[in-house]
Structure 1
Amino acid sequence: MTRIARLTLTALLSSTVLTGAATAAFAQETHPETGEELAEDQTFTYRLLDDVSSLDPQIVEDVDGSDVVRDLFEGLMNQDAQGNLVPGVATGYEVSDDNLTYTFTLREDARWSNGEPVTAEDFVYAWRRAADPATASPYQWFMELMSIEGASEVISGDAEPDTLGVRAIDPQTFEVTLTTPLPYFAQMTTHSTTFPTPQSVIEEHGNSWTQPENIVSNGAYVLTEYRPGERIVRERNEEYWNNEETILDRTVGLIINDENVALTRYLAGELDRTEIPAGQFQRLSEEYPEEATSFPRLCNYYYTFNLSDSGPEAFKDPNVRKALALAVDREIIVNNVKGGGWPPAYTFTPDAVAGFSPPTTEMAEMTQAERDERAKELLAEAGYGEDNPLEFDMIYNTDEAHQKIAVVMSQMWKQKLGVETNLSNMEWKVFLETRGQQDFDLARGAWCGDYNEASTFLDLLDTDSGYNDGKYSNPDYDALLEEAKTAEDTTPLYTEAEEIIAEDMPVIPIYHYAGVYMLDSDVGNWPTENVEQNWYSRNLYKIAE
């Protein structure tokens, strides 16, 4: 595909910050493993839907923000292109016989971007910071989910952060003590919340420590430009321990709210990757077969009911929730609205998760006509109908695809059940705050797994989960998840948990994600086999056209 605007965009980007790293990768003109001829300009440019929630590893809570943070910071372990664990700052780890103590050995050549060594104390500081209530981390609960000794007490404010079960045995040895064995614990250390952060820099600059002029990071890239609402630029970190093997010099995220505008800019050569707009996958895959791509992702898309005291009284009745879930024709949404490539969801956990196949629910086995008929019966049993129509508000964050789905869902409910919905779209950060404070009736939700195990989804609906925005609570459900932490066979427990979700219907699963992108054919090594889609710019490269 011809890129007619590449030089124009390159000139624009080059006017920002140029370092010696801009030519460092070109001691060789071909890829050392594949033999492909490398492009002279090693810049990868992609579209971001919204501004990121933060660039602070302990504060960031969105997928796009985590993608940026993964470039700027490096945790104990990384993932390869297939999602397998590979060394990060840690060269490896040992586990005690009782599986309660993990000892990570850190590489001696790990450096912060200011040249100072990365040590075990940096991880101790970061993990305590994540659990500390004073930090107000949206992912504070993740530290408890990791079963770290003392996490519950620190998070509740009943113990000081320095009682958390982490310690630096020496500068290159980081030890973690758990309360419960977790077979997937090491996988959880690829999550941004666990990345190290520089204590002295944070203490000096406070909340402004992540500004380009202040930030000190330990990843393969450094932040060179951040214009909120416009762009985020990161460039090679010459202090990174593996900088010599990094090929890509610069990654640019352009914030473009409109997916059709983003597609236009992609076709004009200004972007190397963008999401395919709803309904256009089939056309684009025919026109650009080497660039339109779809692959499974470890994510779900759903709507969550506000079941807290501030939520609508109608939603306290599971029959109402089931009726609304049944009446949603998911095939129309995935085929007509999304345009193919996305599997409909009748369970909360995606099929793509490792080691667990979600059960087939009763709803999945019904025809849509049968679902609609049952929905009418349930809503009538709950006391709603022509003389007493159900009405509620429905919120989602600004995006054309989200809006289309919300409109279609509201039309389905109106036509089939006589339900009135008031739609409201919100800017991303406002939406997160509104949903997190239970200031909604029905809200869009989506989740991409923090690690490849079913609990990363099912734990969201645990009573104490920090991301249980609807405040759903079922003691039987909680007990199943607690038992699963130490069970040799989690399948029957996770199956029963999914069956409880299907019965209580605290959320409406809509579809499971696929990576549906336009990806320039000159981008090498995009990790399509990693269902978590944890990608690292240092693993990418640009092929000469």
Structure 2
Amino acid sequence: MKKYLSLVLMLVTVVTLAACGNKEDNIPSFKDADLRLANSSIAEDLDFHTTSLASDFTILNNINEGLVRLKENDEVVEGVAKSWSVSEDQLVYTFTLRQDATWSNGDTVTADDFVYSWHRAVNPPEGITVKYASMYDMIKNGSAIRTGEETDVTKLGIEAVDEYTVKVTLEQPTPYFLPLMAFPAFYPAHQETIEEYGKDYGKKMDNLIYNGPFKVTYWNTDYGVYLEKNETYWDKDAVKIESVSYRAVEDPTTRLSLYDADELDRVGVTGEQYEDRMDVADVYIDPVQWYLIFNTEDENFSNKNLRLAFKYGIDKAELVQALKPYVPADEFVPRGYSVMEVEGEYVDFRDFVTANADATEVNYDESTNGIFDAKVAQDYLDLALNELGEDSITVKFKAFDSDGWKPLFENIRNQLSRLEGLTVELDKKPAAGVYDSYDGRTYEFGFYGWGPDYPDPMSFLELYHSEDSHNVLKKEETDVLNAEFDALIEAARGDNPETSLLDDPVARWEALVQAEALLLEEAYVVPLAQRAGGTLQQGRVSGVIKHNFGPDYSWKWVEVTD
């Protein structure tokens, strides 16, 4: 599943795939683990190259390790690499690996493991689809190898200088390169194990190998995942707990009841649960955005005026009441996520947009944002109906068949159905069916979310580039948008040295502001809300680290007291 859908269901996916790992009669005692967690979505694929599910990334982040790791406040700290240096031109990173990093079978993690893994990502064997291959475009020759322009994979900008030294050469200076090295797509790979299991690697517990703080000792998508401390991990002394249980519990009410019965250590609360517990909940706001997505290959939604009717026809303040304390979102890049130093002061991207409106020729007023206006929405709908030659239309909203999301989806349906001439029907499917309809373009309009992979506005915008593997705008109707949008993204990314803006951070952000405005103007995707919630945590637990980008949680530094 593409990333734009993987993070839709960070906390809410209903897993319907076949169970992996152990049989039912071997279910461990989840409530007896040191750290006891639950989610409606349990890991489906633990091959770090082929998955893009947030639930998978959470597990991967705790059983594997890359060159670096993210700690509290997303600080980059040592991982397999114990130190690194950067060339003056910011193009070459040299990582020195620790010699005591080992795989769970006792083999040493070496520079060749990173080279093999990265080669597999850009030039995968038959039967393997790498979901984040486009991330390697920042690596020297990454794009050329990935697209087949260059057939010699050894020309990728990664070199094993010796057994414990990795040299990485970039196409252009990339300000977010180092934190991105903590992302699962860049983990090392144990070649012997990968080649033994082939495309089945990571699909069940017995087909795995680890180099991180924990190891999987039970995995069944119907019941959950059980992790135990990895005694071969180089920093095992820093791991203070012996086990983590992550059980499958779809119903939010059941999860809260388990927490109240002291069978769970952490639980998220939204909506009515949040209102009931807001005085004791730890409230957070995530840089995770939620959107409406339109299939413009559908006859109705190829009409821009219809999309604009939807954009202005939803009162987001009313909408988020169904998922308190979510907050309305009118843009793609959320506030509080990305900052840049300008003349000695740190400026949030959203404040930069406002302050540089003249320079960027972007005015974020009612013509571009999604401020609710029932009259404007009705006017756009009337125009659309006239252009479609219809007095009224009925459209289907592809929605997840999940009790947790039911109030939100019904609210969207009810709000839009207030428009005269429009009827919205819920087309509820299990998560896997929704994914298939999005990938196969057999839906009319739907709902999805996106969380960032690295701390830069680009992480929210480049997925709409015409060649990005997560792009939802790959259709003839958006060719004009893509031509202008692609050019802005490529300049901000530094794809071409002649047009690169990487040496001018202000101009780079100005390009990203314009790219965001293009998306808002065309309404192929409509921002709805930014994820927020409350977390209840038992007093005996400390040290759970929640990340703003990449995998959601780190459990390495958790401590539990009696």
TM-score category of the 2 structures, normalised to the smaller one: 0.7 to 0.9
The change in CA–CA distance for 1:423 and 1:160 in structure 2 (over 3 A counts) is farther
1:319 to 299, 305, 309: 305
Aligned equivalents of 2:270, 2:93: Cα separation in 1: 44
Question: How many Å apart are 1:119 and its aligned residue?
Answer: 0.6
> Structure 2 matches for 1:129-168, cutoff 5 A?
129-133=120-124, 134=126, 135-144=128-137, 147-158=138-149, 159-168=151-160
Question: How many Å apart are 1:373 and its aligned residue?
Answer: 0.9
The equivalent residue for 1:479 is 487
Per-residue CA shift, 1:267-289, capped at 9, x if unaligned?
Answer: 22221122214332121123xx1
Per-residue CA shift, 1:139-158, capped at 9, x if unaligned?
Answer: 222222xx112222222234
2:462 to 459, 463, 470: 459
Question: How many Å apart are 1:225 and its aligned residue?
Answer: 0.5
More displaced 10-residue stretch of structure 1: 123-132 or 421-430: 421-430
Question: How many Å apart are 1:299 and its aligned residue?
Answer: 0.9
Question: How many Å apart are 1:386 and its aligned residue?
Answer: 11
Work out whether 1:57 is the aligned partner of 2:66: no
Question: How many Å apart are 1:364 and its aligned residue?
Answer: 9.7
More displaced 10-residue stretch of structure 1: 248-257 or 94-103: 94-103
The change in CA–CA distance for 1:62 and 1:113 in structure 2 (over 3 A counts) is same
Work out whether 1:305 is the aligned partner of 2:294: yes
The equivalent residue for 2:373 is 371
Work out whether 1:279 is the aligned partner of 2:289: no
Work out whether 1:218 is the aligned partner of 2:211: yes
Aligned equivalents of 1:519, 1:217: Cα separation in 2: 28
The equivalent residue for 2:5 is none
The change in CA–CA distance for 1:167 and 1:346 in structure 2 (over 3 A counts) is same
AA paired with 1:324?
F
Aligned equivalents of 1:196, 1:537: Cα separation in 2: 20
The change in CA–CA distance for 1:367 and 1:498 in structure 2 (over 3 A counts) is closer
1:438 to 421, 437, 441: 441
Aligned equivalents of 1:99, 1:446: Cα separation in 2: 33
> Structure 2 matches for 1:74-93, cutoff 5 A?
74-93=65-84
The equivalent residue for 1:171 is 163
Q: Is the 8 A contact 2:69 2:77 kept in 1?
A: yes
Query: Runs of 5+ in structure 1 lacking a partner?
Result: 1-12, 19-40
1:70 to 61, 77, 91: 61
Q: Is the 8 A contact 2:274 2:533 kept in 1?
A: no
Q: Is the 8 A contact 2:370 2:526 kept in 1?
A: no
Q: Secondary structure at the match of 2:90?
A: coil
Work out whether 1:209 is the aligned partner of 2:215: no
Per-residue CA shift, 1:28-73, capped at 9, x if unaligned?
Answer: xxxxxxxxxxxxx761111122232411111221112101000110
Question: How many Å apart are 1:517 and its aligned residue?
Answer: 2.3
Q: Is the 8 A contact 1:149 1:165 kept in 2?
A: yes
AA paired with 2:119?
R
> Structure 2 matches for 1:345-424, cutoff 5 A?
345-355=329-339, 356-358=348-350, 359=353, 361-363=364-366, 371-384=373-386, 388-424=391-427
The equivalent residue for 2:189 is 197
The change in CA–CA distance for 1:208 and 1:387 in structure 2 (over 3 A counts) is closer
AA paired with 2:444?
D
1:502 to 520, 524, 531: 520
Q: Is the 8 A contact 1:452 1:532 kept in 2?
A: no
The equivalent residue for 2:544 is 526
The change in CA–CA distance for 1:338 and 1:463 in structure 2 (over 3 A counts) is same
Aligned equivalents of 2:243, 2:183: Cα separation in 1: 23
Q: Is the 8 A contact 1:263 1:277 kept in 2?
A: no
AA paired with 1:480?
L
The change in CA–CA distance for 1:88 and 1:252 in structure 2 (over 3 A counts) is same
> Structure 2 matches for 1:12-51, cutoff 5 A?
43-51=34-42
The change in CA–CA distance for 1:50 and 1:108 in structure 2 (over 3 A counts) is same
The change in CA–CA distance for 1:417 and 1:531 in structure 2 (over 3 A counts) is farther
Aligned equivalents of 1:240, 1:300: Cα separation in 2: 35
Q: Is the 8 A contact 1:74 1:219 kept in 2?
A: yes
Q: Secondary structure at the match of 1:279?
A: helix
The equivalent residue for 1:3 is none
Q: Is the 8 A contact 2:251 2:404 kept in 1?
A: no
AA paired with 1:185?
F
The equivalent residue for 2:505 is 488
The equivalent residue for 1:32 is none
Question: How many Å apart are 1:439 and its aligned residue?
Answer: 2.5
Q: Secondary structure at the match of 1:503?
A: helix
Per-residue CA shift, 1:364-400, capped at 9, x if unaligned?
Answer: 99996x6111111112122359952233222233432
Aligned equivalents of 1:431, 1:50: Cα separation in 2: 15
The change in CA–CA distance for 1:428 and 1:387 in structure 2 (over 3 A counts) is closer
Question: How many Å apart are 1:417 and its aligned residue?
Answer: 4.0
The change in CA–CA distance for 1:320 and 1:344 in structure 2 (over 3 A counts) is same
Q: Is the 8 A contact 1:294 1:517 kept in 2?
A: yes
AA paired with 1:478?
D
Runs of 4+ in 1 over 4 A off after TM superposition: 15-18, 364-368, 384-387, 528-533
Per-residue CA shift, 1:462-513, capped at 9, x if unaligned?
Answer: 1122111243552212211111122422332222222212211111111111
Question: How many Å apart are 1:243 and its aligned residue?
Answer: 0.3
AA paired with 2:553?
W
AA paired with 2:423?
E
Per-residue CA shift, 1:335-381, capped at 9, x if unaligned?
Answer: x2012x2221000111121214234632499996x611111111212
Work out whether 1:250 is the aligned partner of 2:243: yes
AA paired with 1:403?
K
The equivalent residue for 1:119 is 110
Percent sequence identity is 24
More displaced 10-residue stretch of structure 1: 318-327 or 159-168: 159-168
More displaced 10-residue stretch of structure 1: 269-278 or 171-180: 269-278
The equivalent residue for 1:344 is 328
Q: Is the 8 A contact 1:83 1:532 kept in 2?
A: no
Q: Secondary structure at the match of 2:116?
A: helix
The change in CA–CA distance for 1:81 and 1:458 in structure 2 (over 3 A counts) is same
AA paired with 2:491?
E
AA paired with 2:556?
R
Aligned-residue RMSD, C-alpha: 2.6
1:447 to 440, 447, 450: 450
Q: Is the 8 A contact 1:274 1:517 kept in 2?
A: yes
Per-residue CA shift, 1:224-249, capped at 9, x if unaligned?
Answer: 00012211111100000000121021
